[in-house]
Amino acid sequence: MEEQHSYKDNNGEGTSSISRFEDMIAEDAQYFFDVGEFEVIVDHYANECDYTKALNALNFATSQHPFSSDLLIRKAQILAESKHPKDALELLCQVEQSEPYNSELLATKGNILSQFRKHKEAIQAYKKALDNELDKDDLYMCIAFEYQNLDQNAKALKYLKRAISFNPENEIALYELAFCFEAEDKLDESTIYYQKYLDQHPYSHAAWYNLGISYSKMAQHQNAIDAYDFAIAIDDNFASAYFNKAHAYAHLGRFDKAIELYLETFKYEEPEAFTHYYIGECYEKSGNTISSERHYRKAIKMDPEFSDACLAIGRVLSQTGKRDEALTYFQKAVDIEPEHSGNWMMLGDILMDTKDYKGATDAYQEAVSLDENNITVWLKYADTLFRSKEKAKALKVLRKGIIVNPESHQLYYSYCSLLLQAGDKKKGYEILEKGLLLNYKLHTILFDYYPEAKRDRVIGSLIEKYKSE
């Protein structure tokens, strides 16, 4: 006969199932628990991420209640959470034979199928669960996320809208909706949707915020500011709204106002490295290099691996004549993100300024190998080689650049200028014609590369020839 114990939970509201279960284990006894008590016990261990104890409790529970689908489904959920999704799926398939329309089972099955990246099958499970579930909010969201995983954002939009119709206070859906609208290049539709939503729910700070984001991405920065103002009026602690509003003012060139708003965010959340970075950027654009350097340094202090901040401080130091120190920061940016073409290009630029042509050449070579479509790097790479008296290599670089980017008129005009300077006028004229065919209007960049070309009669006649075509 079971020994009787008196247990009270922390609130003194009755028997503590957890303590009773643990005493049973310690005493190697056999107590009876109903399904609800087992669910409390299992949830306790799961919340502590002690999945071994949770599964042990479930094994004991199913021995007492072998036909409880609730316990079997919970066991599948714990198996999935403890990184045994295959076992979880097998168990669910067994239970499904007797309860094919159990919505919780189907939702759990969908979640596990998603872990296996079987997104289409997961969608089928979630949709089947919809037929028998009154609370459809989470299921609509799950289906939308699966469509996003399949890169089918138009279908994801459909289910996100359903989720919001079912539960207008679903803020996650409001945010995900903005992402899908942008992915589908439907920013106009996005603003219309949020405006209609706000007609019915004018006090949704999330909707005003996402409307502001849509306006920002459409470069309608004043409209964005107005939307962010409404979001802040509803929730004056909304740090992200202050941050995005600051961004909008920065785009309008109102850097003082942007800085004020970036600093405002520090009242509502801990200062972050990227916020100091943007403050530094505003100071830099407004010509205050001392303050910009100070905030860039704060960003790096908070996040030593912030490569953009390293580049920025290097740029400021370079502009103020501190090239040796600037070089240190450019090199650091490269060390942090060696696969970033732009980092290598800026390192090349500072090396050029210090007349280190060999170092600059190596940096540009690395940059172009990482991004063969970056025309600016090809031009700088070739120019550096040419200045280093390596004319043949410079011409070879431009030929390769043209092969990779055959529609780039800049490369043709640069190639022409180097050929002319190298004395190969015949080839230079031939390349000029190809450049003129690609983009006649911008032929004057040839004179930026090689001003002496203005005095070449053949070049003049070729320009006149293609002017009329």
What pLDDT, on the 0 to 100 scale, is given for residue 4?
40
Structural domain count of the chain = 1
What pLDDT, on the 0 to 100 scale, is given for residue 7?
40
User: What is the average pLDDT across 306-324?
Assistant: 94
Token couple for 157: 């939009």
Average confidence score pLDDT of the chain: 92
Q: Which of 103-112, 126-135, 252-261, 321-330 has the highest mean pLDDT?
A: 252-261
20-21-23 Cα angle (round to 5): 65
Cα–Cα distance measured from residue 219 to residue 222, given in angstroms and rounded to the nearest whole number: 9
Query: Is residue 108's pLDDT more than 60?
Result: yes
The answer to whether residue 115 is domain-embedded is no
Contact criterion met (CB below 8 Å) for 289 and 320: yes
Per DSSP, 455 falls in state: G
The answer to whether residue 427 is domain-embedded is yes
Query: Exposure of 231 by Cβ count < 10 A (0-12 exposed, 13-18 middle, 19+ buried)?
Result: buried
User: Whole domain around residue 433: which residue ranges?
Assistant: 407-469
Query: Is residue 83's pLDDT more than 90?
Result: no
The answer to whether residue 438 is domain-embedded is yes
What pLDDT, on the 0 to 100 scale, is given for residue 469?
61
Cα–Cα distance measured from residue 72 to residue 84, given in angstroms and rounded to the nearest whole number: 15
Contact criterion met (CB below 8 Å) for 137 and 166: yes
- CB half-sphere exposure, 271, CA atoms < 13 A: 16
458-463-468 Cα angle (round to 5): 130
For the stretch 404-424, pLDDT in tens is 999 999 999 999 999 999 999
**Nearest residue to 144 (alpha-carbon basis) of 110, 105, 168, 176:** 176
The answer to whether residue 177 is domain-embedded is no
Label residue 170 by pLDDT band (50, 70, 90). Answer: very high
Question: Does the CA dihedral 16-22-28-30 come out positive or negative?
Answer: positive
The answer to whether residue 463 is domain-embedded is yes
For the stretch 17-68, pLDDT in tens is 888 888 888 888 888 998 888 889 988 988 889 989 899 889 888 888 988 8
The answer to whether residue 227 is domain-embedded is no
How many Cβ atoms are within 10 Å of 54's Cβ, its own excluded? 25
Cα–Cα distance measured from residue 149 to residue 164, given in angstroms and rounded to the nearest whole number: 20
The answer to whether residue 421 is domain-embedded is yes
The answer to whether residue 468 is domain-embedded is yes
For the stretch 369-395, pLDDT in tens is 999 999 999 999 999 999 999 999 999
Q: What are phi and psi of 137, to 5 degrees?
A: -50, -55
| Total length of the chain | 469
